[in-house]
Amino acid sequence: MLKVKEEKRFLTCGCCGNSYSGVIPKENGIQSYDNGVGMCPACGGDPKAKSYKKKIGWGACAFYEARFDIVRDALSKESKAKFEGLSYQKKVFVIQRMLAKGIIKW
């Protein structure tokens, strides 16, 4: 099988529309040109970032934070206080578990 060298180019973020330097995504082992479905590190996350929010990116933060309010509103007073006491990362984990179990929907 022919190996295709990854090629860095200016791409367009499918979330914010900004240009960014990134690797062209591969489809079935073949290089394809970005058609606006990629995400820049700010929106899609940067695994090398120090902050958890920057690691998961703006898009994921917006997704989870919208669900924080839904969960918070459904909790009892005691549970709400516990939820508020959790770190951001633990709140995200709670939402991920609820999504995986089908308690809340995507």
Are residues 105 and 66 located together in one domain of the fold?
Answer: yes
**CA–CA–CA angle 74, 79, 80 (5° rounding):** 65
Going by pLDDT thresholds of 50, 70 and 90, the confidence category of residue 25 is low
Are residues 35 and 7 located together in one domain of the fold?
Answer: yes
Are residues 27 and 77 located together in one domain of the fold?
Answer: no
Report yes or no: 33 and 11 within 8 Å, Cβ to Cβ: no
Percent of the chain predicted with pLDDT > 90: 46
Are residues 59 and 96 located together in one domain of the fold?
Answer: yes
What CA–CA distance (Å, rounded) separates 97 from 106? 12
pLDDT, tens digit, 9 for 90 and up, residues 29-81:
544 444 555 778 888 888 889 999 999 998 899 999 999 999 999 999 999 99
Q: Is the pTM of this model over 0.75?
A: no
> Does residue 82 surpass a pLDDT of 70?
yes
Are residues 2 and 31 located together in one domain of the fold?
Answer: yes
Q: Which domain holds residue 19?
A: 1-44
How many domains does the chain divide into? 2
Are residues 100 and 61 located together in one domain of the fold?
Answer: yes
Are residues 69 and 26 located together in one domain of the fold?
Answer: no
